[in-house]
Amino acid sequence: MEKLLASIERERFESGAGKYAAYLQTPEGRLRLDLACANLQEFLPPATSGLRALDIGGGTGAIAVHLAQLGIHVTVLDSSQPMLSRAETSAQEAAVTDRIALVHGDAAEIAELLPGSFDLILCHNILEYVDAPCVVLRGAVRMLRDSSSIISILVRNQAGEVLKAAIKDGDLDASERNLTADSAHESLYGGPVRLFSAESIHAMLEEASLAAVAERGVRVLSDYLPEKISRTDEYERVLELERKLGSRPDVAAVARYMHVIAHLTPATKDTE
């Protein structure tokens, strides 16, 4: 599976840059982005100006621009030059180029590529595609500035793929396989994508000396709305409902994505 995932990663971050940018304009893409930003903003300090953030696998720079508009200085790390070119254009259009730095490189080589430390680190939809997600996460943790710094992790939820296969695709065989599968079919680019369960995420956090501050579900039901409900015309209502559902553990558990906000464990803080 690792070699297949690496191949899909290259497709996503190289020739798939345009396809990914177009996806972010769809209701599904907008919701994933807007919900993650809304969740994250709950845990940012009141005064964000001057904070330093690192967006690992930041792609087209959508979240980086959002953070830069809050006064945060953002470094976008991505292995795809086409993605970074789009991020540069987005920064120019938003007039925030002075607060966004673009770095071309691999997520597994953070320490070698980036000096200094960060108040906020994002790992959004990157751990599904890298060869060794634990290595990337541990590398990110070493870049946290101090015990007040936070790391934001957004990953594909195994339980969400169970429902998606049954409800959206009508594929009961795939739904049953996804109950225990390590990967599922990725519809945007084709091929496999790594899945995470609540147990596997918590195990990764523990291994990386992280403790969850909050857990949210992203896109609980929006993917399954009937055609009579326009996700474009009713976008704001859907967004607000998704925010309420995503904060409820009983329904967030089956969301398409898991969003975890974490910081260093108390034991780690004591050794600083």
Interval 43-67 mean pLDDT? 93
Q: Could you tell me the pLDDT band of residue 204, with boundaries at 50, 70 and 90?
A: very high
171 domain residue, yes or no: no
Domain count, the chain: 1
**Would the pTM count as exceeding 0.85?**
yes
The domain containing residue 198 runs over which residues?
Answer: 2-156+187-270
169 domain residue, yes or no: no
| Rounded (10°) angle between helices 27-41 and 235-246 | 50
> Any idea what the CATH number is for the domain that residue 74 is in?
3.40.50.150
Q: What angle do CA 104, 14, 87 make, to 5 degrees?
A: 55
- The residue whose two tokens read 């959002």 is 66
User: What was the pLDDT predicted at 3?
Assistant: 46
259: left (phi over 0), alpha (psi -120 to 50) or beta: beta
180 domain residue, yes or no: no
22 domain residue, yes or no: yes
179 domain residue, yes or no: no
Alpha carbon distance 103, 40 (integer Å)? 23
170 domain residue, yes or no: no
Q: Could you tell me the pLDDT band of residue 147, with boundaries at 50, 70 and 90?
A: confident
199 domain residue, yes or no: yes
